[in-house]
Amino acid sequence: MPDTPVTPAPDGRPLTAGVAVLATAVAVISVLVGGLLAAVSLTGHVFGAWPSPGSLSPGLVGAAMLGTSPGLFAVGRAARWQDVRTLVYALGVVLVGLFAVTLLNAGRLYIARGGGIVAVLFSLGWLFVLGTLCVAALATLTWQHLGAARPARPRALPLPAWSKPPLAVLGSAWLGIGTGLLLRPGFWAAFVPWDVARPDAQALGVWALALGTGVLGALAEDDLARTRPALLALPGTALAVTLVLAVHARSVDWSSGPALSLVCMLAGLACAGASGLVLLSRSAVPA
């Protein structure tokens, strides 16, 4: 009797090697560059691709880079696109957004204004590396979506019903603030509870926009097992940003409404990521 052919189990769209390599490369760069920006900021010195009125804003950009790196490293270990797309879409927002902000503020970069040799070389490297990663992200994401896909498996671990309204509020808050800072930095920078330059406001806006994209993307995915890399990135980002803010506490107007909102939004990121990881660890879904 001939063997009956075995139909492959539905597994969705396979993750391409390009996306995995891109995520790993960005993770390594984030550890090195983000760690450098955060460490210099913690010493009270100003360092970045453009002049800033204080060391807090570059430190926050570095902290965000550093905090998301665990999730990016996890992307390279995944096999299916649906298991990583929440974080990868947010990564695309960061790379394209930061490169656009850098180009829009090209006249403010140290390579245009002049400065110390280290600052000039760093701004040149920032522009080159961001441009390369931006092109790579657009190419790899396009190739990822052109590949053939089988039907995806059913959701293994849907989000608890009680978590969806808070996630919708949290994601919308980050998305709204990020959009405002990116598109109208002159107006929205006044709501930032510390001194920021225009490129600082827009760079922070890009990161806020990416966080909002990630949170709302996880809500749309509605499966904790498919958002594991994003869950790893959330508490790390919240912790790194909180550390930089704590060291620069004197630079922040804590009596303002925006400062209170920022504290609540960071707490929301930490709680969302930590609670999701706890629920995953208690489930029978394999890592």
Tell me the pLDDT tens digit for each residue of 13-52: 788 999 999 999 999 999 999 999 999 999 999 999 999 9
Rounded to the nearest 10°, the torsion over CA 110, 43, 208, 48 is: 10
Mean pLDDT lowest among 9-18, 38-47, 137-146, 234-243: 9-18
pLDDT at 284: 59
**Greater model confidence, 284 or 135:** 135
* Confidence class for position 79, pLDDT limits 50, 70, 90: confident
**pLDDT at residue 193 in the model:** 94
Helix H or strand E encompassing 253: none
How big is the chain, counted in residues?
287
Instruction: Answer positive or negative: Cα dihedral of 269, 271, 276, 281.
Output: positive
CB 146, CB 14: distance < 8 Å: no
- Residue 258 · residue 114 · CB < 8 Å: no
